[in-house]
Structure 1
């Protein structure tokens, strides 16, 4: 399988890619260019990855769960993510040899052997690709919402202001083709910082609008248990929606599938695992606060009829210019988030191609377009062809299946248990040589089992949602 990359092979590829580099360039202990990442760039990457489209569905998720179960679920997923991210941070370097693991699959291979890497690779890369589809959908919905808000402002809230998502997905995809030509995460730290600022901006706008709605007194009905059976939903819909809400919350909290790749951008000293743990604490703490504000205040403002997307579901109509700013911020943020999740996928295929045809130098050589010291731009033929094809495929899939709530829930359910819980815990047990029958071994595996049950329930609910959406959907004719 193409995604199974050993750390030695990746180092070999890195050396090949840097044969044209200046001889005076500083190198790290693995022969790669000196890493320059810091606590703050790592935190920016994490915030960019975590505060994404998932935050927009939290008001809806809280509405399905209610005032007690909703916040508890949000805190539970955040704490689990923080706990396992600290375990995963220790897997970047082999505890015995000290060799680096450049990606999640390499860490699993180094700590658990070659058998489990197949499952890990499948889960990780399917989820990364699925997240790219989800972000393309979300960006197009937000872009379309800008056009709709102007229509509603001019013609009234009852006007027919339907807008096709397709053209916005194509524009977003074209932008990603350009951004994808940056070689790796280290080269787009500036984009992650910008995206992180945008995520704070639209989250803050959502919170402010929710507060204004609450103060005005024009709020929806809220309950301890969320949506009411027989009033808001049927009993069957209640069960499916609860499962789906858990998947949405899990998706909103997950970033483990890119943690190792983010850690690989950090300079050393200080030790990469220590910096990454601090970055995880900072980022998860910040995002949890924002999530609680967006989810709870959004539910308080809209009640049990909270829209699936707080800023594009038009629970808010005015001030239209502020809603426009929020949706533009979402689009800019997702430009960066898309890259954070896709760079690992890009690297795997390029490594495979370069290794297989290593005698064809044009595949690995870099052509310099601009030689500016602060912002050099290079082009590689393998990168140009592969990444363009990838973005086109992802954009096509988004056009075919633009179901926001269902896709977010399924991706969260699919990735949460294996990537956020199971593998970090199993690698921790392997590294620390914890006996399975010991108290600590039983406790962490019990936690893993409970998370598995939650993921299964969320996956079932999300699949049911996709099936229902497919039943009433006409490809290429979706209107917002």
Structure 2
């Protein structure tokens, strides 16, 4: 005589599933990326401007000096076209599976390459980019505050170490980092987007006002062939760093509401197009006018080359500070999401304000410490730009597109993606070489915590 299964077993299984789904929803409602999905299309515009137009725009004239007129203009235009194309691919792939949204870059990577391989490919690169940007922005914010202090302080003026200015800049983030999600930082992001357009406009209009400098030279600055080649490689990384919004684009799109009738890609793409128009308004005038006026003597931050009118250059430096405050938060938010996901889902911590407070303060403190220790602005741009930005921006979306959609061999889509992949690989291999060399050269004359 067989034993009969309890009649309430299906009910228990159903209850267990419901409990798991409820717990999963509670976690998703707490995590930064998925907690709010009511963003408007214009949120996408200024989040993307804030993510894209950052410290990199100020180094573009310096990059032009290392690239030269012909290669420099060609690389700037080509980068704008390629990155707009790969950004379109990511917007399209966000909801390519009906009923599912790839809210994070690594989730799309897992779908394209498999659960484990996707994580191994995407997460390290994305973390290098986002943590790298946060470190560079700590340096940029500190240097811009330092420059502002020099310009507005009446002589004689007490010299304050750059270390302290980086710490002042970081103090803002010990407060702002506790805003829970992307939508909660929309006001900060909007202010940052306006500031980016403002200081870019000041940079090129003040350059025009200053005029072409006496004895200006457009030849390569380095005295040796090796120096010229390495500087060229570094400049490629500077350009790659300037086009960096892809690392947060899926996370930004995740905040936009979506239905089968009105998918999120419509408003997201509208915001991206406006953002890229603003990017063009910022990048091309700053790069071309800055190089035209100062030639190969331009500094790695164009605002340092501009000394007059003092009040305008001081204002521009303060605008940079406000902008990189917003940019830091945009790039930090996906990192916070990863940290909090691991703490809550893997280590089984309970979602709480205290958990968020401790983890985020540790992260801000860590980026501040590294920035104080290694404030090599130009070299950092070149190194991070090539090593990590090139894959995630220039060719990883193309590889995912080929893996998922499998376009016909030698079709327009297949050819376009392979051209992007090959150019991106060259960028990834060459630019870190120049960036690392610059860091080594600058480190020779650097006193730690000066």
TM-score normalised by length of structure 2: 0.89
| Distance in 1 of aligned mates of 2:423 and 2:101 | 31
| Distance in 1 of aligned mates of 2:136 and 2:176 | 18
Change (3 A) 1:323 1:34: closer
| Distance in 2 of aligned mates of 1:254 and 1:130 | 11
Aligned partner (choices 221, 226, 230) of residue 216 of structure 2: 221
Which runs of structure 2 are paired with 1:223-302 in the superposition (5 Å)?
223=218, 226-227=219-220, 233-269=223-259, 270-302=262-294
Give, in angstroms, the shift of residue 421 of structure 1.
2.6
Given that 2:130 and 2:335 are in contact with CA atoms closer than 8 Å, whether structure 1 keeps it comes out as yes
| Distance in 1 of aligned mates of 2:23 and 2:404 | 26
Aligned partner (choices 384, 387, 407) of residue 414 of structure 1: 387
Any unmatched runs of 5+ in structure 2?
A: 1-19
| Distance in 2 of aligned mates of 1:472 and 1:179 | 35
Aligned length: 426
Indicate the larger mover: 279-288 or 395-404.
Answer: 279-288
The aligned counterpart of 1:42 is 44
| Distance in 2 of aligned mates of 1:404 and 1:11 | 47
1:8-37 CA-to-partner distances (Å, cap 9, x unmatched) read x99965523649xxxxxxxxxx9x666221
1:333 corresponds to 2:326: no
The aligned counterpart of 2:89 is 87
Given that 2:82 and 2:420 are in contact with CA atoms closer than 8 Å, whether structure 1 keeps it comes out as no
1:383-418 CA-to-partner distances (Å, cap 9, x unmatched) read 100000011111000000000000011111122332
| Distance in 1 of aligned mates of 2:190 and 2:25 | 25
Indicate the larger mover: 10-19 or 392-401.
Answer: 10-19
The aligned counterpart of 2:10 is none
Given that 1:124 and 1:257 are in contact with CA atoms closer than 8 Å, whether structure 2 keeps it comes out as yes
| Distance in 2 of aligned mates of 1:288 and 1:144 | 28
Moved over 6 A (4+): none
Indicate the larger mover: 10-19 or 188-197.
Answer: 10-19
Given that 1:13 and 1:355 are in contact with CA atoms closer than 8 Å, whether structure 2 keeps it comes out as no
1:446 corresponds to 2:446: no
Give, in angstroms, the shift of residue 138 of structure 1.
0.3
Aligned partner (choices 343, 348, 358) of residue 353 of structure 1: 343
Which runs of structure 2 are paired with 1:414-433 in the superposition (5 Å)?
414-433=387-406
Change (3 A) 1:440 1:104: same
1:314-341 CA-to-partner distances (Å, cap 9, x unmatched) read x222221111111111111111100000
Change (3 A) 1:12 1:49: farther
Which of the pair has more CA radius of gyration?
A: 2
The aligned counterpart of 2:376 is 403
| Distance in 2 of aligned mates of 1:150 and 1:440 | 54
The aligned counterpart of 1:207 is 204
1:16 corresponds to 2:44: no
Q: Secondary structure at the match of 2:267?
A: helix
The aligned counterpart of 1:104 is 105
| Distance in 2 of aligned mates of 1:395 and 1:438 | 48
Given that 1:210 and 1:301 are in contact with CA atoms closer than 8 Å, whether structure 2 keeps it comes out as yes
Give, in angstroms, the shift of residue 165 of structure 1.
0.9
Given that 1:247 and 1:409 are in contact with CA atoms closer than 8 Å, whether structure 2 keeps it comes out as yes
Give, in angstroms, the shift of residue 91 of structure 1.
2.0
RMSD: 2.3
1:109-146 CA-to-partner distances (Å, cap 9, x unmatched) read 12221213202110001111011000000000000001
The aligned counterpart of 2:166 is 169
Q: Secondary structure at the match of 1:279?
A: helix
The aligned counterpart of 2:184 is 187
Change (3 A) 1:239 1:139: same
| Distance in 2 of aligned mates of 1:123 and 1:398 | 19
Given that 1:220 and 1:304 are in contact with CA atoms closer than 8 Å, whether structure 2 keeps it comes out as no
Structure in which a larger fraction of residues adopt helix: 2
Change (3 A) 1:473 1:268: same
Given that 1:219 and 1:301 are in contact with CA atoms closer than 8 Å, whether structure 2 keeps it comes out as no
1:23-57 CA-to-partner distances (Å, cap 9, x unmatched) read xxxxxxx9x66622122111100100111100111
Change (3 A) 1:83 1:472: same
Indicate the larger mover: 263-272 or 47-56.
Answer: 263-272
| Distance in 1 of aligned mates of 2:407 and 2:178 | 44
| Distance in 1 of aligned mates of 2:21 and 2:167 | 33
| Distance in 1 of aligned mates of 2:104 and 2:282 | 29
Any unmatched runs of 5+ in structure 1?
A: 1-8, 20-29, 366-379
Given that 1:222 and 1:299 are in contact with CA atoms closer than 8 Å, whether structure 2 keeps it comes out as no
Aligned partner (choices 53, 76, 79) of residue 77 of structure 1: 79
